[in-house]
């Protein structure tokens, strides 16, 4: 399954990011807590260079809490400031401004010593589609100002939003890379809904999800679909057939796949994190 998706507006967005970087003090890089690495744009490091960065691990309520702690340590080790948040429920959002001030304390102090009047911190919000940027912007703005939707790529404009007297935010459209060199990253993004379902073979994605849960969260998988220890010995394609049958869909494996993918996305199988720290060679004992 080769996934390639790079709409023209995303290429334009990449140029806009580079052009507008000089207007901001700090960049908020929003990632999905269930896949903190796979939901990052690999071009960002080259684009952002030395600009101060706050990595916001969003949807932390859906992710494996232990894994999130490990990823927080990973990003801190990389030299980034980091916060785990849940923009949907407004959890952790109030800590963003204090964290910004911490990241920019040297610049703020230099300006104070020079007699420069304090102003709001200017930040750019960036992230690939479906990581929750619009939801975060709405929370920070205090009202529904950014268009939101469950489909990736819904946010195509660019606008400034103000958060009290402390923060001015520049929204940017979501940007993705032109080609998924690693097809597993594509499957991870597909499983969480970051890629349009029309571009996928749903049974491939469901099988990937079943294989992952059987390996890392077998109890959650067993409980959701009333599976036996014997069922868990099945290969993922056979497990898909078993679950499809148990759901009453007979041999409609496409429908069975849709149900499994929906359940995973909605957290029906519990909290999970698809990206594992050991995959990037980081072994933290958090």
Range with the poorest average pLDDT among 5-9, 144-148, 249-253? 144-148
- DSSP for 142-195, please give it: TS--S---SSTT------EEEETTTEEEEE------S--SSHHHHHHHHHHTSS
pLDDT in tens, 18-51: 888 888 999 999 999 999 999 988 778 888 888 9
Kindly state the percentage of the chain with pLDDT values over 90. Answer: 57
Among the four given CATH numbers 3.40.50.300, 1.10.1580.10, 1.10.260.40, 1.10.8.100, the one describing domain 201-276 = 1.10.1580.10
Give mean pLDDT, residues 227-240: 96
User: Is 201-276 in the same CATH topology as 8-171?
Assistant: no
Give me the chain's average pLDDT, please.
Answer: 86
CA-to-CA distance for 204 and 246, rounded, in angstroms?
19
Architecture per CATH, 8-171:
3-Layer(aba) Sandwich (3.40)
Q: Is the pLDDT of residue 11 over 80?
A: no
Q: Which residue has the higher pLDDT, 286 or 263?
A: 263
Decide if 209 contacts 261 (C-beta within 8 A): yes
pLDDT tens figures, 129-164 = 889 988 998 888 775 454 444 444 444 445 678 888
For residue 55, pLDDT beyond 80: yes
Positive or negative, the CA dihedral 228, 34, 280, 207 is: positive
The residue-averaged pLDDT of 94-98 equals: 94
The pLDDT, as a whole number, for residue 134 is: 85
> In which region does residue 22 sit, left (phi positive, over 0), alpha (psi from -120 to 50) or beta (all else)?
alpha
Longest dimension (CA), the chain: 74
Domain residue ranges in the chain: 8-171, 201-276
């Amino acid at each position: 399954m080769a996934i390639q998706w790079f709409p023209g507006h995303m290429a334009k967005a990449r140029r806009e990011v580079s052009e507008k970087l000089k207007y901001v003090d700090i960049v908020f890089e929003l990632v999905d807590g269930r896949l903190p690495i796979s939901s990052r744009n690999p071009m960002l490091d080259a684009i952002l260079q030395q600009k101060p960065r706050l990595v916001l691990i969003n949807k932390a309520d859906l992710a494996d809490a232990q894994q999130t702690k490990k990823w927080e340590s990973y990003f801190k080790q990389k030299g980034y400031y980091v916060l785990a948040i849940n923009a949907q429920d407004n959890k952790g959002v109030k800590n963003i401004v204090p964290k910004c001030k911490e990241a920019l304390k040297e610049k703020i102090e230099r300006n104070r010593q020079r007699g420069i009047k304090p102003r709001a911190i200017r930040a750019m919000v960036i992230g690939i589609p479906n990581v929750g940027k619009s939801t975060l912007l709405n929370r920070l703005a205090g009202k529904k100002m950014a268009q939101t939707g469950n489909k990736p790529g819904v946010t195509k404009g660019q606008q400034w939003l103000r958060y009290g007297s402390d923060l001015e935010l520049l929204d940017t459209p979501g940007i993705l890379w032109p080609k998924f060199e690693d097809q597993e990253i594509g499957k991870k993004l597909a499983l969480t809904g970051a890629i349009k379902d029309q571009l996928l073979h749903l049974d491939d994605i469901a099988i990937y999800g079943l294989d992952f849960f059987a390996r890392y969260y077998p109890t959650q998988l067993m409980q959701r679909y009333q599976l036996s220890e014997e069922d868990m010995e099945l290969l993922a394609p056979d497990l898909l057939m078993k679950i499809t049958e148990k759901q009453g869909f007979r041999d409609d494996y496409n429908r069975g796949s849709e149900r499994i993918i929906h359940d995973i996305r909605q957290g029906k199988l519990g909290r999970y994190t698809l990206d594992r720290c050991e995959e990037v060679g980081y072994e933290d004992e958090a």
